[in-house]
Amino acid sequence: MPNLFDLTGKSALITGSSKGIGKAIAYRLAEHGANVVISSRKADACEAVRDEINQKLARKAAISIPANIASKEALEHLVAETDKAFGKIDILVCNAASNPYFGPMAGMSDEQFDKILKNNIVSNHWLISMVAPQMRARKDGAIIIVSSIGGLRGTNVLGAYAISKAADMQLARNLALEFGPDNVRVNTIAPGLIKTDFARALWENPDILKASTERAPLKRIGEPDEIAGMAVFLAAPAGSFTTGQTFVIDGGQTVV
């Protein structure tokens, strides 16, 4: 029987993949056979992860193409270089995001609000619009947006970030309807609190850490690999009948 998680011959582009959740997703996709593009703003960080993955897997599974998601031209270059290297993009993971402000909405500047929405919503729209046509033409493709449980609940510290993550879920639902007839699937993953540098302000705060774990069934925060497994499922044949969904991975935090 075919392996439901075999990604051999597939090519994946993962933004924000030089660390944290994005890095874990890139490694696990490559481990399951995919060729992967490591991308974030800093070239040296991308190259380090590329070399680490290639060394661990003993094959040239990864390449690095730095890009700033806030620039449409940079994203166009990223897609063009990925196509040049691999010939196609079968899997797109929109993981990169930003949150330059932590606190109540009343204290957020217009510049910060605009930056969050541009990086977390508009850039995903741009990148998907650049990649989806080739997927639709081939009648095959998987698009994964990394959202957050912040998009499911009210918050007094994550403001526009939570708004952007709720919008990511709706973006996936809309595009699932548009792309479904061409066998292109679009889903989101909504992690809870994960031990990454990006979420450091949350898990290093003892009050927030306690609130996040005290009532949750698993009583702990998550690790990046615990999100990567869902990305492999959604990218692989195992997830071929799954689209338009948001998968919450939060240790049970949102059930209480």
For 36-67, the DSSP string reads EEEE-S-HHHHHHHHHHHHHHHTS--EEE---
Q: Is 27 a catalytic residue?
A: no
Neighbours of 79 (CB within 10 A): 21
CA nearest neighbour of 31 among 248, 225, 237: 225
The Cα–Cα gap between 214 and 208 comes to 10
Angle at 110 between CA 206 and CA 39, to 5 degrees: 70
Amino acid at position 240, single letter: S
The Cα–Cα gap between 203 and 157 comes to 13
Residue indicated by tokens 């909405």:
105
Catalytic one among 27, 126, 161, 179? 161
Runs of H (alpha helix) within the chain: 20-31, 43-57, 72-86, 110-117, 123-138, 159-179, 200-203, 206-213, 225-235
Contact (CB, 8 A) for 231 and 14: no
Token pair for 232 = 């492999």
**Which positions are catalytic?**
161
